């Protein structure tokens, strides 16, 4: 983090306080720039240094366009039609730093913003916008050695198909052809898929940067689709872990161990996940304590000491969330675990909610603690 | 190809003939199914066994929605609004087999179909639809060993950034850790990017299937972004090859040779490309005859014997296009090359135009001819 970014962050923070606390608005600075996740060459959507987002949609004969993004619970941002048939509008206040999914409602129908890149969330590809974070440097694309993210198709008898996963291999994987690596199995949230952690999560860049600074051991990350069961397009009520657990532990892990230079034992295997992926991590690590030794729940539930009764202690229990989520619950849970003699660590992402900046930061905190015991 | 598919293909072919020849329409069969490249769980767009495409867009307050897809030059398909606020419509005739890009015009603005997956073309992510081809089996996802497609970020001094490429490694790449492979550098067309050949091209599945049938040697395919210069969002008039040639031959190839188990010589290196990528292939192979020994132009120009004056003969010159493009020109060019003593091969994709089925088929024809001399 540099001081310029810090100053911006303080500005955003101060502005947010005013904005949420009163109905009067601060002056909106006219330094809007295209969002960093726009489609190539697209000028809109834009973001200013305070975190306001501005939209511009051409649809001369449309009557109404609304952007789903806006201040919490206030129903998004309604755009105004100009004489030129172009709809424009700015969020009524600054957005939280980091990545946000959104969509347009055009004359009552749901569409994506043609200016923005799409990211898989809510079981569909949605528009995304990035509000620059004061600490964005840790996931920036830099001139450091880069690892690769590769798509693999692994055979899955239990689901009768070839299934897709993405595998991050660290920068030196291609150099020293005899070196073997630990593996983190890292899950997305509900409605997302196996693309989330590298697209909107920047897991690969977070790792590349940490490794280049000597802050974490190089390890492999494997990301696959976790909505293997009947909850696919429904809610979480009837969630059963069996289908995904079978894919993960009986099919994917053996495939990865056979095709990548892994250290194929429990002491060198971690599982983590965000939101629904945290719930999956919670259940699978407890069902299969012989498979993983490092556990991480990112805005995805808690562990209690009682759940480990009769089980070997894992080497690490990491629990995190955004400060706008349930920080007290997370801290209480890790305190109870520590008191019971577990190596438990909590992390609270400052001024973020149930969104990807929370999880980027969580991975950045988690990685250096993995595979070092 | 199985006989059921063949029968469908003949039906489509017969229908097309009627459709293009007269204004009267054949009966549209009511066997519409969701397109195979829809977003997960989406019922529309749909395609029937004749190749008609049907669209359904919810936008209760919109006045008009048009789909850019339709019969050649007739301006696409206008949807009709129902009492329920849902717009529906069917193409006025069957579409060519294979993959098509499209978009919606909603009240004068350009948007994507929320039901369809997006594919990068026309310098933006556009909706895509797939009309099942009678020979689709060669690029189907099957229960065979699969190679991986991995994203690499390679340093590029000439452009001052880390650049992205995708690398296909064949199924046995992870098994025999000492085996080395030849490499095909494969380029996308204008407005597309390095995602095209694996997303809409299915290059990885085409290779997996050919390799599993013993029809081609395993080789690596490298796909990077070819619009490195000022033509990025303009036309082709001021196209200069220098910027891309430098990235490809001075930066990407050395990086690939250092980080993958390649056979790093001319005899084991091919370059091919579709459309603009063919033009790039044409220019770079002639500028740098010491780098590549196999050349392939897919709907992307021709070679003449005169161009090779004073140069060593390449091992293979492959030139292809769709039957609705310039088949006579392609055949004449390869005839002239053969007459002048070159190993030139032409391939014409039946009943396809300047679209991805032409290029999938071209890669399927080309791969077995590579690296076998």
Check CB contact of B233 with chain A, cutoff 8 Å: yes
Closest to A136 in 3D by CA, of A60, A49, A46, A31: A49
Over the stretch B70-113, which tens digit does the pLDDT of each residue have?
765 467 999 999 999 999 999 999 999 999 999 999 999 999 99
Q: Please say whether the beta carbons of A99 and A200 come within 8 A.
A: yes
Per the CB < 8 Å rule, is B146 touching A125? no
Check CB contact of A117 with chain B, cutoff 8 Å: yes
Per the CB < 8 Å rule, is B106 touching A110? no
Between these two residues, B310 and B228, which has the higher pLDDT value? B310
Q: Please say whether the beta carbons of B340 and B276 come within 8 A.
A: no
How many Å apart are CA B81 and CA B76, to the nearest integer?
16
Between these two residues, A232 and B243, which has the higher pLDDT value? B243
Over the stretch A310-331, which tens digit does the pLDDT of each residue have?
999 999 999 999 999 999 999 9
How many Å apart are CA B99 and CA B349, to the nearest integer?
14
Which residue in chain A has the smallest CA separation from B234?
A41
Nearest to A62 among B60, B107, B141 (CB): B107
A356: part of which helix (H) or strand (E)? helix A356-366
Backbone dihedral angles phi then psi of residue A354, each to the nearest 5 degrees: -80, 65
Contacts of B177 in chain A (CB under 8 A): 177
Shared domain for A143 and A256, answered yes or no, is yes
Shared domain for B209 and B157, answered yes or no, is yes
How many Å apart are CA A290 and CA A303, to the nearest integer?
17
Contacts of B112 in chain A (CB under 8 A): 111-112, 114
Backbone dihedral angles phi then psi of residue A207, each to the nearest 5 degrees: -65, -50
pLDDT at res. B16:
37
Residue B326 domain boundaries: 138-369
Shared domain for B230 and B363, answered yes or no, is yes
Closest to B146 in 3D by CA, of B118, B175, B120, B123: B175
Q: Please say whether the beta carbons of B139 and B131 come within 8 A.
A: no
How many Å apart are CA A183 and CA A225, to the nearest integer?
17
How many separate domains does chain B show? 2
Per the CB < 8 Å rule, is A150 touching B151? yes
- Does the structure show a pLDDT above 80 at B229? no
**3-class secondary-structure state, position A174:** helix
What is the CATH number for B87? 2.60.40.10
Shared domain for B127 and B143, answered yes or no, is no
Shared domain for A324 and A215, answered yes or no, is yes
**3-class secondary-structure state, position B176:** coil
Check CB contact of A62 with chain B, cutoff 8 Å: yes
Nearest to A155 among B60, B143, B151 (CB): B143
Listed by number, the residues of chain B in 176-195 with a beta carbon closer than 8 Å to a beta carbon of chain A are 177
Per the CB < 8 Å rule, is B149 touching A151? yes
Which of B65, B109, B205, B264 to probe the A interface (max A CBs under 10 A)? B109
Check CB contact of A140 with chain B, cutoff 8 Å: no
Over the stretch B5-63, which tens digit does the pLDDT of each residue have?
333 333 333 333 333 444 555 699 999 999 999 999 999 999 999 999 999 999 999 99
How many Å apart are CA B215 and CA A354, to the nearest integer?
50
Domain boundary residue, one of A81, A108, A132: A132
Give the lowest-confidence range in A339-348, B152-161, B278-287, B325-334: B152-161
Nearest to A111 among B85, B114, B233 (CB): B114
Per the CB < 8 Å rule, is A61 touching B64? yes
Which residues make beta-bridge pairs with A274? A298
Shared domain for A192 and A57, answered yes or no, is no
- Does the structure show a pLDDT above 70 at B234? no
Any residues with CB less than 8 A from the CB of B39 and at least 6 apart, and which?
A124, A125, B114, B115, B116, B117
Distance from CA of B77 to the nearest CA of A (A): 18
Question: Helix A203-212 to helix A356-366 angle, to the nearest 10 degrees?
Answer: 30
What is the CATH number for B309? 3.40.50.1820
* CA geometry: angle B118, B121, B126, nearest 5 deg: 30
pLDDT at res. A227:
80
Shared domain for A179 and A38, answered yes or no, is no
pLDDT at res. B235:
55
Distance of CA A220 to the CA centre of its chain: 17
Domain boundary residue, one of B87, B111, B132: B132
Per the CB < 8 Å rule, is B114 touching A118? no
Q: Please say whether the beta carbons of B285 and B292 come within 8 A.
A: yes
Chains A & B: contacts with CB separation below 8 Å = 151
Two tokens at A203? Answer: 């897991």
**3-class secondary-structure state, position A21:** helix
Shared domain for A117 and A142, answered yes or no, is no
Check CB contact of A58 with chain B, cutoff 8 Å: yes
Q: Please say whether the beta carbons of A129 and A35 come within 8 A.
A: yes
Any residues with CB less than 8 A from the CB of A259 and at least 6 apart, and which?
A152, B174, B175
| Side-chain-side CA neighbours of residue B34 (13 Å) | 12
Nearest to A146 among B61, B114, B162 (CB): B162
Domain boundary residue, one of A113, A132, A151: A132
Per the CB < 8 Å rule, is B143 touching A162? yes
- Does the structure show a pLDDT above 90 at B176? no
Per the CB < 8 Å rule, is A118 touching B123? no
Per the CB < 8 Å rule, is B64 touching A59? no
Q: Detail the DSSP E strand segments found in B194-350.
A: 220-224, 269-274, 294-298, 316-322, 344-349
Shared domain for B109 and B147, answered yes or no, is no
pLDDT at res. B373:
83
Closest to B362 in 3D by CA, of B324, B302, B318: B318
pLDDT at res. B13:
36
Could you say which residues of chain A have pLDDT below 50? Answer: 1-22, 73, 230-233
Shared domain for A83 and A182, answered yes or no, is no
Nearest to A151 among B60, B148, B152 (CB): B148
The sign of the dihedral angle between the CA atoms of B303, B306, B312, B313 is: positive
How many Å apart are CA A173 and CA A260, to the nearest integer?
10
Shared domain for A73 and A95, answered yes or no, is yes
Listed by number, the residues of chain B in 302-341 with a beta carbon closer than 8 Å to a beta carbon of chain A are none
The sign of the dihedral angle between the CA atoms of A255, A258, A262, A264 is: positive
Q: Please say whether the beta carbons of B249 and B280 come within 8 A.
A: no
Q: Please say whether the beta carbons of B158 and B344 come within 8 A.
A: no
Shared domain for B189 and B114, answered yes or no, is no
């Amino acid at each position: 983090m540099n001081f310029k970014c810090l100053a911006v962050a303080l500005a955003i923070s101060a502005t947010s306080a005013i904005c949420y606390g009163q109905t009067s608005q601060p002056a909106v600075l006219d330094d809007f720039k295209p969002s960093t996740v726009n489609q190539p060459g697209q000028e809109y959507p834009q973001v200013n240094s305070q975190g306001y987002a501005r939209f511009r949609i051409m649809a001369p004969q449309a009557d109404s366009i609304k952007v789903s993004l806006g201040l919490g619970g206030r129903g998004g941002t309604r755009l105004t039609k100009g004489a030129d048939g172009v709809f424009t509008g700015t969020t009524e206040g600054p957005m939280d730093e980091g990545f946000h999914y959104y969509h347009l409602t055009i004359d009552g129908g749901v569409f994506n913003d043609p200016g923005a890149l799409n990211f898989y969330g809510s079981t569909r590809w949605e528009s995304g916008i990035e509000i620059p974070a004061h600490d964005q440097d840790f996931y920036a694309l830099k001139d450091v050695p880069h690892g690769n993210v590769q798509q693999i198709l692994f055979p899955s008898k239990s689901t009768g198909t070839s299934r897709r996963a993405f595998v991050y291999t660290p920068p030196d994987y291609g150099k020293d052809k005899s070196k073997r690596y630990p593996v983190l199995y890292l899950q997305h949230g509900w409605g997302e898929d196996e693309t989330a952690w590298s697209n909107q999560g920047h897991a690969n860049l977070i790792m590349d940067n940490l490794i280049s600074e000597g802050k974490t051991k190089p390890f492999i990350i494997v990301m696959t689709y976790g909505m293997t069961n009947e909850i696919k397009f429904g809610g979480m009520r009837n969630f059963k872990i069996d289908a995904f657990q079978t894919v993960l532990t009986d099919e994917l892990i053996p495939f990865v161990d056979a095709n990548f230079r892994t250290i194929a034992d429990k002491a060198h295997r971690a599982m983590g996940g965000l939101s629904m992926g945290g719930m999956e991590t919670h259940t699978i690590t407890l069902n299969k304590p012989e498979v993983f030794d490092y556990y991480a729940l990112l805005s995805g539930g808690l562990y209690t000491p009682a759940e480990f009764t009769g089980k070997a202690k894992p080497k690490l229990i990491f629990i995190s969330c955004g400060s706008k989520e349930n920080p007290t619950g997370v801290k209480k849970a890790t305190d109870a675990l520590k008191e019971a003699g577990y190596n438990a660590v909590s992390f609270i992402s400052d001024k973020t909610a149930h969104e990807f900046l929370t999880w980027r930061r969580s991975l950045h905190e988690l990685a250096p603690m993995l595979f070092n015991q």
